[in-house]
Amino acid sequence: MLSYKRTSLFVLLMLGVAIPRAGAQTLKVGDPAPKLEVKSFVKGEPVTAFEPNKTYVVEFWATWCGPCIQSIPHLTELQKKRPDVTFIGVSIWESNQDDVKPFVEKMGDKMVYRVAMDVVPENAKRTDGAMAQSWMKAAGRNGIPSAFIVSGGGKIYWMGHPMSMEEPLEKIASGSWDLKTAVEQNRKEMEKQAKTQKLFTALSSAIKAGEPKDVLKAIDAIVEQRPELETGYGPIKLTALIKLGDEDKALALAKQLATSELSKNAQGLNGLAWAIVDPAAGIKPGSKLIQFAVEVAQRADKLADAKDAGIADTLAKAYFDNGEVRKALESQERAVRLAKGTAYEKDKGITDRLEEYKKAAQQ
């Protein structure tokens, strides 16, 4: 069975890639913006409704999302540049909403706009928040960071990645934005997404079935129609190549990915390293691939200031597969310490690997 822990959906979300899913888009450019339903504002004056003749940016992010964190300085810069526009960063999909306020406080002046938390019903999934449902899901947007510009009496004027927002925001704020053209562009994009829905379904089925050849075939078909998704699906392709035993192609792809968008954040590099050493893949890669995984995991660990449990776990596995048992044990002990109080604390694999490395170190 192929395993894509830390390599598929998570890496795609880290890259801000929207993943098409079944269901029609009900929120489009030109439509009235949904209500602002937030649990609380953790920074800035609360906004309860969109006022006429004002422009707003509603941006969705999460504390665990690398690209979201990278986009924060850009949003801050835009807010300073356009004080007439109200920016609201809404935290969604959090494993623990208690992490949001300390994160925002730590950011300080690096995050100068309003920040709020989504309303998540008690005992509901973290993806079932009111804003996540009425904005993100309704708009067919499944990747963060993701932003919406609201203007013209509370209508959606634009939606997309916040790093691409500067030009449309300037035009909207200055009154030179062509809403009719924006509506048509959004319609064409959703048609394009609908056409590739079957391909994403085929990939999902191939992953569940553990068929690496079918995984490669599905990814190639997706990339043919959506070239911009090639990097996001790279770690999944890498895992399939390793499963097939195609070491040369796997190493070439790994090196290519290590210089791509994945290399810009710790979690992207972590996903790449884990794709190589993932124990659930069912096959041990060759020495060159393992050594490369060690290098990539070390880079990820450095970017994370050695404070991420998942990355420490990946680095330990890479060390262990490379025959560096003592280093593996040290890194795994750190992973277990860092896992306390996080989602990784429930990951039995982390504690199981610690025992495995302890036994190996005693031999």
Residue ranges per domain, the chain?
18-177, 226-362
pLDDT for 47 beyond 90: yes
Q: Which CATH class is domain 226-362?
A: mainly alpha
Query: What is the average pLDDT across 289-314?
Result: 94
Predicted local confidence at residue 5, as pLDDT: 45
Among 196-200, 267-271, 283-287, name the one with the lowest average pLDDT. Answer: 196-200
Tell me how far CA of residue 286 lies from CA of 194, 250, 274, 310, in angstroms.
39, 10, 15, 23
Tell me how far CA of residue 226 lies from CA of 117, 230, 255, in angstroms.
33, 8, 22
pLDDT for 72 beyond 90: yes
Pairing relation of β-strands 85-91 and 55-61? parallel
- pLDDT tier for residue 23 given thresholds of 50, 70 and 90: low
**Residue keyed to tokens 């609908």:** 194
- CATH number of 18-177: 3.40.30.10, 3.30.1330.10, 3.40.50.10790, 3.20.190.10? 3.40.30.10
Question: Which one is predicted more confidently, 165 or 16?
Answer: 165
CA distance 257 to 99: 31
CA distance 336 to 79: 40
pTM greater than 0.75: no
Q: In what order do the strands lie in the sheet with 114-118?
A: 38-43, 114-118, 85-91, 55-61, 146-151, 155-160
pLDDT for 196 beyond 90: no
Query: What tokens were used for 286?
Result: 């060759």
